[in-house]
Amino acid sequence: MRPSSAPFLFAGTMLAAAGYGATFLLASYYRARGGGDIETGLTLGAAMVGTFTGVPLVGWLSGRFDAARLCVFACCAVASGFLLLASATHAGFGLDLVPGFLIGLGWGMFYIAAPMALSERVTDADRAFWFMRFAAFQMAGIGGGPVLLNFAVHQAGLSIETAFLLVGLACLAASALLWIFGTLAPGEPRIDALRPWLRDIAVIGRTASIRPIIMVALGACVFSGLMTFQSTLVQQTRANEATFFAVYAITVVTARLLLARTLAGLPQVALATGLLAAMVLGVVAMLGVVLHPAFQILAAILTGIGYGLVYPVIQTWAVNDTPREMRHAALTWFVLSYFVGVFGFPVIGGWVLVNFGKSTFLVILLVAALAELLIAVNIGFARKRSTALVAGRPSGS
């Protein structure tokens, strides 16, 4: 990949990711309009439907169109969703669903098209490093966006509708930057045909890449649960939701930028296991926020170190552990699995919070985090057994 094109990719990614990060303010948006967590869950449920439309579209069309160009369309869709929210004059069924669908459609397309565009422009040896850097800028937008918007609303006095208008404009700017990236760094020659991916799950399911595909859904449940409902989780405590967003974003971005080369060179299974253990402890720390706000900061740091750093590790597994001709399919399924957790879980999570409370909600997140950790441990045992079998095989067999 040409070095001169990377700043356009990273800047566009950061602005587009701020659009997704703004969805963490939907709870505050609906609360200001007399709604609550149920309405937030419905909007994010519509976003999940949008992602299940957008991700397959990229999976099919990436053979005909450069993934970088698909990113441009994706950013325009996210912008449209937020501009609709910003211009809405009253709450209603359409307000819950249409903007959510557009945001999900755009973010789903971007979330697979952007790493696909990057993956096509780098070698296998460099993929982990570039994925880590890409993920750093993505997280800068996801975590930094809510912080800036919270400041704009609560300190600068902007209405949340005006804040969403700015998000829409930022996503339009992202589309321009990504168009420039695609022009400066042309991708692989297109084959002018649809790429099959749906049926490939039968083969992918028998490869090692199925485990990171399952893992990403579990981790996304933890991530979306803590981020989407942070304002609810800190109600009646001395903690502030913006603190969690800020600490989480700073932790992830700093760690990814400073440790990209180091982490890429470490034993990946041991690294993933340690990071997931940190994520588990982060959820446990969130249970202590009712006692002292310092537990919120600890939870943000541990979750940032854990989930924030493990994601590009397992994303690399999902690509590299798949036969080359099916890598686009593996990445498609990986992203679909992620969106099951990130947009699907809040539908259930909002209902759990309303009917059973914060403690039950956090226990569910803890179970998801532990399940992902156990899969990582299982991968470690499986690879050790495989290595032992190869080492013990007679020469020439």
Nearest 10 degrees: Cα torsion 200, 203, 209, 210: 90
pLDDT digits (tens, 9 = 90+) for 28-82: 888 877 777 778 888 888 988 998 899 888 877 877 788 899 999 999 999 999 9
Comparing 360 with 249, the larger pLDDT belongs to 360
pLDDT digits (tens, 9 = 90+) for 263-273: 777 888 899 99
Domains in the chain: ranges and CATH? 3-183+200-392 (1.20.1250.20)
**For the residues 296-302, what does the mean pLDDT come to?**
96
Q: How far apart are CA 216 and CA 213, in angstroms?
A: 6
pLDDT digits (tens, 9 = 90+) for 56-65: 888 778 777 8
Residue 364 C-alpha from the chain's centroid = 19
Please say if the pLDDT value at position 365 is more than 70. yes
Of 16, 23, 58, 65, nearest in space to 172 by CA: 16
Single pTM value for the model: 0.75
Q: Compute CA distances 362 → 92, 221, 227, whole Å.
A: 30, 11, 12
Q: What is the pLDDT of residue 395?
A: 46
Q: What is the pLDDT of residue 89?
A: 65
118 Cβ partners below 8 Å, 6+ apart?
A: 1, 9, 130, 131, 134
